[in-house]
C-alpha cells in the first residue's frame, strides 16, 4: 500500500483583488496614515487584527510551518475583507482611531450594517471583480517579511517611519511598546515573558534599565527592517512605499498624491479639509524639532550613556537619510 504524502494546508485564494497593509514600528503614525487614506477613492475602511502580526512572528521565529502561516494569514484577511463588505464587526467605537465614525465613507458603512442579508457567494464574486482596496494595519512586517510576501504576492505595503528618538519617548511615556497588556507576541526570558523582538537578548532583558530596553528594542526593529529590505528581490522592493511621520506632517497633500499614484487610485475631494484639522496643525516641522529636544532631555536622564549615545546616533542617521537637520541643536 502506497504511503500518504505529508499533510499540508491548502491556503484559500485571496478575496480582495487589491490589498494593502500599513506597516511600521509601534507609535510611528500608522493610524494617522490610515485616516488619511480613508480620503482616497476605492479604499475600504482600515481593519486591524493583531493575529496577522502574531502569525508572521511565529513563522519568523520558526514556531509554525510556512503552509500553516500562509493559510492563517489569508484566512484572517479574507474574513475581515468579507465582513467589511457586509458591514459586520465594523468599529463604531467613536474614541478609537480606527472608528468608522472618522471616515468620510461613514454613510456607506451605515447602509451596509442596516442592509438586507446577502448570499456570501455573491459577495465573494463582487470582491474579486472590484477594484477597491482592502486595507489593514500591520506591525513590524518589514522586520519579518518572508511569509507575508508568500501569502500576498500582489499586496502593496505602505511603510511609515519616524525618528527613533520620538519612538523611544512615545514607548516610554505610553508604555505601549513593551507592556504585555498590548497584545504583542511574547517569548520566555530568564524571569518571565519578554516581547518577541527581544528574543536575541531575552536573557539580558530583565537586567537592563527600562529606558535602555526600549532603546534597544526600537533600534533592533529599525535595523531589522532596513536590513531585510536591502536583501529583498527588486520585484518585492517595488511592492513597498516608504513615507515618514515628519514628511506627512510637513507636506501631507503632496505625500498623499504620491501614495495615491503608488496604489493606482485617486484622492477624494474631502482630503483638503481633512489635512486642515487639528492632527496636522499640531505636527509642523518646527514643532516636531522643538519637542524632540525635550524628549532627549528626559531620555538622557533615564538611559545609560552607551544606549543614549546609540540612540542619538540612530536619530542623526535617520535625519540624514531624510535630508533634514540632526536630532541635536
Sign of CA dihedral 175, 181, 185, 186: positive
pLDDT reported for residue 238: 96
Greater model confidence, 37 or 119: 37
User: Does residue 134 surpass a pLDDT of 50?
Assistant: yes
pLDDT reported for residue 125: 86
Give, in degrees to the nearest 5, the angle at Cα 138 between 133 and 139. Answer: 160
Report whether 218 contacts 25 (CB < 8 A). Answer: yes
Question: Could you tell me the pLDDT band of residue 180, with boundaries at 50, 70 and 90?
Answer: low
The Cα–Cα gap between 58 and 197 comes to: 11
Q: What average pLDDT is seen over the chain?
A: 90
What average pLDDT does the segment 16-25 reach?
94
Residues in the chain: 329
Question: Could you tell me the pLDDT band of residue 182, with boundaries at 50, 70 and 90?
Answer: low
The Cα–Cα gap between 255 and 163 comes to: 18
pLDDT reported for residue 327: 47
The Cα–Cα gap between 145 and 57 comes to: 10
pLDDT reported for residue 128: 85
Question: Could you tell me the pLDDT band of residue 154, with boundaries at 50, 70 and 90?
Answer: very high
CA 32 to chain centre: 11
pLDDT reported for residue 325: 47
pLDDT reported for residue 129: 83
For the record, the C-alpha cell of 127 comes out as 470582491
Closest CA to 200 of 268, 143, 118, 266: 143
The Cα–Cα gap between 324 and 75 comes to: 42
User: Does residue 253 surpass a pLDDT of 90?
Assistant: yes
pLDDT reported for residue 326: 46
What average pLDDT does the segment 15-34 reach?
93
Question: Could you tell me the pLDDT band of residue 53, with boundaries at 50, 70 and 90?
Answer: very high
The DSSP string of 72-95 is: HHHHHHHHHHHHHHHTTT----TT
In the chain, the percentage of residues whose pLDDT exceeds 90 is 67
- For the chain, the C-alpha Rg in angstroms (whole number) is 21
- Close Cβ partners of 325 (under 8 Å, ≥ 6 residues apart): 289, 319
Q: Which of 29-33, 48-52, 112-116, 218-222 has the highest mean pLDDT?
A: 218-222
Predicted confidence (pLDDT) per residue in 78-114, tens digit: 999 999 998 899 899 998 878 899 889 999 999 988 8
Give, in degrees to the nearest 5, the angle at Cα 190 between 217 and 301. Answer: 40
The Cα–Cα gap between 188 and 81 comes to: 34
pLDDT reported for residue 278: 64
- pTM as predicted: 0.91
Structural domains of the chain, with CATH: 18-322 (3.40.50)
Question: Could you tell me the pLDDT band of residue 328, with boundaries at 50, 70 and 90?
Answer: very low
Amino acid at each position: 500500500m502506497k504511503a500518504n504524502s505529508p499533510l499540508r494546508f491548502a491556503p484559500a485564494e485571496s478575496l480582495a483583488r487589491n490589498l494593502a497593509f500599513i506597516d511600521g514600528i509601534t507609535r510611528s503614525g500608522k493610524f494617522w496614515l490610515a485616516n488619511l487614506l480613508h480620503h482616497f477613492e476605492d479604499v475600504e475602511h482600515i481593519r486591524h487584527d493583531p493575529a496577522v502580526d502574531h502569525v508572521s512572528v511565529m513563522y519568523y521565529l520558526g514556531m509554525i510551518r510556512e503552509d500553516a502561516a500562509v493559510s492563517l494569514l489569508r484566512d484572517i484577511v479574507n474574513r475581515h475583507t468579507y465582513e467589511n463588505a457586509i458591514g459586520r464587526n465594523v468599529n463604531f467605537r467613536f474614541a478609537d482611531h480606527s472608528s468608522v465614525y472618522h471616515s468620510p465613507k461613514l454613510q456607506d458603512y451605515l447602509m451596509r450594517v442596516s442592509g438586507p442579508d446577502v448570499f456570501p457567494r455573491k459577495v465573494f464574486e463582487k470582491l474579486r471583480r472590484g477594484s477597491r482596496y482592502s486595507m489593514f494595519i500591520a506591525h513590524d512586517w518589514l522586520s519579518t517579511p518572508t511569509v507575508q510576501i508568500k501569502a500576498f504576492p500582489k499586496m502593496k505595503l505602505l511603510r511609515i517611519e519616524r525618528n527613533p528618538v520620538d519612538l523611544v519617548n512615545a514607548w516610554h511615556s505610553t508604555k505601549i511598546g513593551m507592556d504585555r497588556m498590548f497584545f504583542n507576541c511574547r517569548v520566555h526570558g530568564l524571569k518571565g515573558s519578554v516581547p518577541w523582538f527581544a528574543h536575541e537578548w531575552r536573557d539580558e532583558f530583565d537586567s537592563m534599565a527600562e529606558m535602555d530596553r526600549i532603546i534597544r528594542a526600537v533600534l533592533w526593529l529599525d535595523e531589522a527592517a532596513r536590513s531585510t529590505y536591502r536583501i529583498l528581490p527588486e520585484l518585492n522592493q517595488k511592492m513597498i512605499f516608504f513615507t515618514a511621520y515628519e514628511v506627512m506632517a510637513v507636506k501631507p497633500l503632496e505625500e498623499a498624491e504620491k501614495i495615491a499614484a503608488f496604489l493606482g487610485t485617486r484622492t477624494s475631494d474631502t482630503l483638503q479639509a481633512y489635512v486642515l484639522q487639528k492632527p496636522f496643525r499640531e505636527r509642523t516641522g518646527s514643532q516636531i524639532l522643538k519637542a524632540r529636544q525635550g524628549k532627549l532631555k528626559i531620555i538622557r536622564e533615564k538611559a545609560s550613556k552607551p544606549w543614549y549615545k546609540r540612540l542619538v546616533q540612530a536619530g542623526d542617521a535617520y535625519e540624514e537619510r531624510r535630508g533634514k537637520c540632526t536630532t541635536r541643536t
